[in-house]
Amino acid sequence: MKPPSAGGGLGGAFGAIAMSVVAGVLVAAAITPVVALSGMAATTAVDIFEKLPNHLNPRSSLKRRRSLQRMLMMFMRRSRLCTTRIARP
């Protein structure tokens, strides 16, 4: 058995570097379509959101929801007052 030479070590290191570069290129080629599709999906989602009609304004629904919450709170307060008056001897 002969001892390893310096040329064999350099050849092995060069081979490892070359295979790492090839693996990096393959991974980049595999990921590129996924990145492109996600970018297109995000652009499409923004376009759809901006084309929504004006009557679907989230502010108006928030105002409606708050007014319904106020009405419900008033109802609950009144019913609670009525039940406490009845329940006390």
Work out the average pLDDT over 2-25. 83
CA 73, CA 80: separation in Å to the nearest integer? 10
Alpha-carbon distances, residue 23 vs 1, 9, 13, 44, 58 (angstroms): 33, 21, 15, 33, 48
**Model pLDDT for residues 29-66, shown as the tens digit of each residue:** 999 999 999 999 999 998 988 887 766 665 666 666 77
Q: Is 2 helix (H, G, I), strand (E, B) or coil?
A: coil
Rounded distance, CA 32 to CA 17, Å? 23
The two three-digit tokens of residue 84, written as one number: 């406490």
pLDDT above 90 as % of the chain: 34
Q: From CA 62, how far away is CA 75, in angstroms rounded?
A: 20
